[in-house]
């Protein structure tokens, strides 16, 4: 899967809207490198693009699925993972996803990436390292919960911690770790 850089450098075109960038990415089945730009409407436009063409939006986590479905009133949103293997859908992806072969490149229409290269060879990915990293994330979230008390992020922290622990359990069972 090719990555095109429509938001930076020589290819930057200020007169091109985010939706037009997605249309251009779809023509070449390319992901759009965003260089971690925030708050410019990428996710909103990605969902609108998917709605317009009947595609499924893929996001990084299950908690994002719930948030996006509610915020954008679009049910055709899923998280990226092994459960997608063998599905015959057309996807647009939100940034943060690392493609590991769970779906075919030909099933990806376009989307955003904050990495120059988002493809990982499954043989190079070590489940034990991923699980250990998730455990560290869960520990950080639990420390944050204890230190922040009942602030406005409390529900989000609980949701993220629960999702992280569910993923750790799933991976431990799947890979026998």
Average pLDDT estimate for 6-20: 60
Q: Which domain holds residue 90?
A: 2-113
Q: Which one has a higher pLDDT value, 82 or 111? A: 111
| Cα distances (angstroms) measured from residue 35 to each of 7, 106, 117, 128, 175 | 8, 24, 12, 29, 33
Regarding whether 167 and 104 lie in a shared domain, the answer is no
Residue 149 corresponds to which tokens in the numbers above?
């008390």
Highest mean pLDDT of the ranges 1-5, 36-40, 45-49, 95-99: 45-49
Confidence of residue 120 (pLDDT cuts 50, 70, 90): very low
Let me know how many helices (H) and strands (E) the chain has, helices first.
Answer: 5, 6
Regarding whether 130 and 103 lie in a shared domain, the answer is no
Asked if residues 22 and 110 have their Cβ atoms less than 8 Å apart, the reply is yes
Q: Using a pLDDT cut of 70, give the percent of the chain over it.
A: 63
Rounded to whole angstroms, the Cα distance separating 22 from 122 reads 27
CATH number of the domain that 19 lies in? Answer: 3.40.50
Residue 51 corresponds to which tokens in the numbers above?
């709605």
Regarding whether 92 and 39 lie in a shared domain, the answer is yes
Regarding whether 84 and 26 lie in a shared domain, the answer is yes
Q: Which one has a higher pLDDT value, 28 or 35? A: 28
């Amino acid at each position: 899967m090719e990555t095109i850089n429509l938001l930076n450098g020589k290819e930057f075109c200020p007169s091109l809207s985010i939706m037009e960038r997605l249309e251009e990415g779809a023509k070449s089945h390319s992901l759009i490198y965003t260089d971690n730009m925030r708050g410019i409407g990428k996710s909103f436009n990605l969902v609108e693009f998917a709605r317009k063409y009947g595609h499924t939006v893929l996001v990084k986590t299950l908690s994002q699925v719930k948030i996006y479905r509610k915020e954008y009133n679009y049910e055709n949103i899923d998280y990226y993972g092994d459960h997608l293997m063998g599905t015959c859908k057309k996807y647009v992806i939100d940034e943060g996803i690392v493609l590991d072969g769970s779906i075919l490149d030909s099933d990806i229409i376009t989307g955003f990436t904050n990495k120059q290269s988002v493809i990982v060879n499954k043989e190079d990915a070590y489940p034990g390292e991923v699980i250990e990293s998730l455990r560290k994330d869960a520990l950080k979230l639990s420390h944050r919960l204890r230190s922040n008390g009942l602030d406005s992020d409390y529900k989000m922290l609980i949701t993220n911690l629960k999702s992280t622990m569910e993923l750790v359990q799933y991976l431990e069972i799947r890979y026998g770790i």
